[in-house]
Structure 1
Amino acid sequence: MSILMAAPILQSMALLVSGIAKLGDRRGTQDAMVSLRLPLRRVHPLIASVLPGLEIVLALMVWVPLVPLQVVLGEIALLLMLAYLVIIARALTFEEKVSCSCFGSLSAPTVSKATLARNVLLSALAALTLVAAATGTMSETLVRTPLLLLVQVLVLAGTILLTVLVVAGTQSEDDEEEAAAVARSRSTGPTAPAAPADPSGASAVGPDPAGPSADGGHAAGPGTVLDADDELLDYERTPIPAAVLQRADGSLVTLRRLTADRAALLVFVSEGCGPCERALDRMPGWISELGPFLQVIAVVKRPIGQLFPGTLERVGEQVLHDPDFIARTALDANGTPSAVLLGADGLLAGGPVRGGDEVIQFVEEILEQIREAQADGELASPSI
């Protein structure tokens, strides 16, 4: 098999898979661009919409047996691969790890040296594809020996598929064990109980007090107000763990002391993380609307004095530092963004939830519960 023909075949497969994966995960592509600190954030949605189609067109149209067209598409593909390579290489210089979603939801999210090596290989394939197009090898093969080309495609596709299946097979047992461990830990921890309906935590309202049911639904939906005698209080609320957070002045506060008088919603975020930035964008609104009823606090990985000005503008004084991830680990809120609701009664009151969409939905449901409780007269409106 000619290496000049193997290169465009492999490049087309990679571009086709990448384009199709991005079609189903445009939000992930936008988050990745934010995480990779790409400029012109306002045009990210447009790029996320155009990029999948571009990759698919490059993957398919390069096989039209017209040398000038193949050369132009080959040049575009090479420039695209080189741009990806530069972006990934730059991301490796960041202090914090970022995610790229280069192949949509199919790729490993964390940028690493392996990601860089993959992009170097893709750039090399793009260069060889351009050579194959410019020398007429691709066009000649398409016209004279299409059946041989089809065999090459099938052989390479089969080899890739077999490799994927073998790798997946070797990881399946580990994945099952990890999933079982997570399930066991969640069965003994908090589910997704209610948010306090007042700062004292005497009663509660929340998104889903009973947590998920066996069929993936919920035992109780939004809008439920819980009293002490309510049958819906059958979920397990666990004590707030012994962990500390750090204030801007360097002093430490335990989670229990933090919530001694008022419940607290902790939103764990990492600067530069795409989904975290979406949560941070909503923090001013959350602080304003939830502030009269409970504390809304951004919990960050870096010391507060090292935060970007844009982060401080959004969270104001409602920010605490989590040294060595002590609190996040204790609350099982691994990953960012994530959120946990701490009750004023010394017990966990909701979460943990993980993921950008999940955190936003979690907070929005708390807001909805409070609005409904106010409308029903069960919760006094804050004095103005």
Structure 2
Amino acid sequence: MLPTFVIFPALIACVLIASGALKLPQRSRTLQSLAAFGVPAPLRKPWAAVALPVGEIILGAALLLLSGPAYLFAAALAAALMATYLVLVARSVSKRQAVDCNCFGALSTEPVSQITIWRNAGLTLAALLAIFLPGMALGVPTQLALFSVDDWLWLAATTTVALVGIVAGIVKPPVSAPTTTRDATAGQDFELVEGPDLISDPAARDAIPHTLELVSGDGAPELLYNLVVVPQKTTILIFARVGCGSCGPVLSQVGDWSRRLGDDAQIIVATSSSRASVKKSYPSALPHTYFGAKAATEFFEAHATPAAILLAADGTIASPPEFGGDIIADRVEQLVASFAAQRQSQPHG
């Protein structure tokens, strides 16, 4: 038996404990990530945002302390958990969903990617090796007792390299544009929209933050980035509220505007008003309305209502906010005309 095989359960234990400890203070982001990954609604409750990181910490400690059948059971749970993470990440990447996994709390703010898949695949393999390699059932303490000086040096070196690699993979500088692949025509839907502040060059646009969230009508947190990129639609983001005199005409037209835009674009209304008030006063706008708009309002500096911002299907911000019901109505009409002109210019046959 090679006692240095202990690196595998030790690595998984360290990752689990670090993940749980860093995730525990980020409960709202954990709920957001569960929703973005498509976890069933019964598991997207506040208790899950506590149970998941606490469970990771307990499982990591069990890998370090237990031996015999108890250790093997803990190692099997760890392998199943890592495999589950791998499947969720791979599914999201294949769908080009910009999901913030909150894997390591505040240290991980970038959306999942191919790098995340490879990292999770490596951790899944390590978890499996922690079950099936010779002598694993002895447990970590017994294996460490068998270490020579050379084994300790090897363990320290490989653990350092592994942890540095993991941290380097999750801590990245902020980016000004999303890294998702887009086709050659992405972001070009706005050429026919006449607006002095329109940012028609996709390379010059800022990205929608991957952590900015709204709340759907059923109370689930939703990443604004995903609401735009996943359906691959141009989005008119409207900030409005019930009781705002000039917001009324805008909210009353949202349903009709959405119908006229069809599959070319979508309207998202962000509001600080309650769901009940929107349902009562503007029921046709309710299917397009998201709540808890404070963070989005501050980010886009949409402090007066109504306000509208154009978001491109590639997850970038195509215009600064514009204010006033008449201006918003004009912009929607221009966008409708733009898409109609594009359809007419396309070859038929």
User: Which blocks of at least 5 consecutive residues in structure 2 are unaligned?
Assistant: 177-187, 198-206, 223-238, 270-284, 290-305, 328-349
Is the contact between residue 17 and residue 103 of structure 1 (CA under 8 Å) also seen in structure 2? yes
Q: For residues 186-335 of structure 1, what are the structure 2 equivalents within 5 Å?
A: 254=195, 275-278=212-215, 287-294=240-247, 305=263, 313-315=286-288, 322-323=311-312, 328-331=317-320
Residues 122 and 276 of structure 1: CA distance in aligned 2, closer, same or farther (over 3 Å):
same
Indicate whether 1:22 and 2:13 are aligned.
no
Deviation at 1:122, TM superposition (A): 0.7
3-state SS, counterpart of residue 87 of structure 1:
helix
CA contact (8 A) 1:71 1:130 kept: yes
Tell me the distance in 2 between the aligned counterparts of 1:46 and 1:115.
26
Are the aligned partners of 1:304 and 1:321 in contact in 2 as well (CA < 8 Å)? no
Question: Distance in 2 between the 1:87 and 1:325 partners?
Answer: 22
What SS is found at the alignment partner of 2:215? Answer: helix
Aligned residues of 1:30 and 1:274 also touching (Cα < 8 A):
no
CA contact (8 A) 2:22 2:105 kept: yes
Counting only pairs closer than 5 Å after superposition, residues 1-384 of structure 1 correspond to structure 2 as 2=3, 4-40=5-41, 43-132=44-133, 135-138=136-139, 141-142=142-143, 144-145=145-146, 154-160=156-162, 254=195, 275-278=212-215, 287-294=240-247, 305=263, 313-315=286-288, 322-323=311-312, 328-331=317-320, 340=321, 342=323
- In structure 2, distance between residues paired with 1:343 and 1:245: 23
Whether the 8 Å contact between 2:310 and 2:319 is mirrored in structure 1 is no
Q: Which amino acid aligns with 1:26?
A: R
Q: CA–CA distance in 1 between the matches of 2:266 and 2:319?
A: 26
3-state SS of the aligned residue for 2:103? coil
Q: How big is each residue's C-alpha offset from its partner over 1:75-119, in whole Å with a ceiling of 9 and x where there is no partner? A: 111110111011011111224422211122212521111110011
* Number of aligned residues: 249
Q: Do 2:208 and 2:316's aligned partners in 1 also have CA atoms closer than 8 Å? A: no
Separation of aligned partners in 1, 2:132 and 2:144: 18
Find the aligned partners of 1:310 and 1:343 in 2 and give their Cα distance.
Answer: 16
Q: Deviations over 1:170-196 (max 9, x none)?
A: x8xxx69x99xxxxxxxxxxxxxxxxx
Q: TM-score, normalised by structure 1?
A: 0.50
CA RMSD of aligned residues (A): 5.0
Distance 2:112 2:118 in 1: 11
Matches of 2:53 and 2:3 in 1, distance apart? 29
After superposition, the C-alpha distances for 1:291-347 in whole angstroms (9 at most, x for unaligned) are 42445789x9xx75378999974326x99864457982442xxxxxxxx5736899x
Partner residue, 2:301: none
8 Å contact kept, 1:100–1:111: yes
Structure 1 window deviating more from structure 2 (81-90 vs 319-328): it is 319-328
TM-score, normalised with respect to structure 2 = 0.54
Q: Is the 8 Å Cα contact of residues 107 and 170 (structure 2) preserved in structure 1?
A: no
Deviations 1:147-170 (Å, cap 9, x if unpaired)? Answer: 86866654444445666899999x
Q: 1:104 to 1:75 in 2, by over 3 A?
A: same
Moved more, 149-158 or 23-32: 149-158
**Cα distance change of structure 1 residues 78 and 18 upon mapping to structure 2, 3 Å threshold:** same
Equivalent position of 1:380 in the other structure: none
Give 1:29 deviation, angstroms: 1.0
CA contact (8 A) 1:98 1:111 kept: yes
Task: Tell me: CA distance 1:307–1:46, structure 2 relative to 1, closer, same or farther (3 Å).
Answer: farther
Task: Give the conservation status (yes or no) of the 8 Å contact 1:84–1:119.
Answer: yes
- Contact in 1 for aligned 2:208/2:317 (Cα 8 Å): no
Whether the 8 Å contact between 1:8 and 1:126 is mirrored in structure 2 is yes
